[in-house]
Amino acid sequence: MPTDTPQPEPKWRVVITDAESASGVAPICPSPALFQRASEHWNDESMDLLGVWDCCPGPHLQCINEDHAKILAAMLNILEVEICS
């Protein structure tokens, strides 16, 4: 049953923390302009979307594998967990 209630914007995303796999979770960068500028330095499009940049807030969490990272990011977004400051 569709609802007209707007869905909250996700606050967490899956990231590459070890340069080999997307097995990390971090908050979504609050500054799209800085994220875009940093991502221009990479040729690999997946690194642009999954990288962690200086403008991205912490914490950056390392999970056991990519599946666990996807589950954790989804749970944090469903629960609307805010970034700790």
Q: Helix count (H) and strand count (E) of the chain?
A: 3, 3
Cβ contact 69:24 at 8 Å = yes
> What is the rounded CA–CA span in Å between residue 45 and residue 79?
29
**Considering the entire predicted model, what is its pTM?**
0.70
Residue 58 belongs to some domain of the structure: yes
Residue 41 belongs to some domain of the structure: yes
Instruction: State the total domains in the chain.
Output: 1
Residue 2 belongs to some domain of the structure: no
Residue 61 belongs to some domain of the structure: yes
- Predicted local distance difference test score (pLDDT) of residue 9: 72
4 has a pLDDT exceeding 80? no
- Predicted local distance difference test score (pLDDT) of residue 70: 95
Residue 1 belongs to some domain of the structure: no
- Predicted local distance difference test score (pLDDT) of residue 5: 64
31-85 per-position pLDDT tens digit = 666 556 555 555 555 555 677 777 678 888 999 999 999 999 999 988 887 765 5
Domain that holds residue 36: 12-78
22 has a pLDDT exceeding 70? yes
Residue 84 belongs to some domain of the structure: no
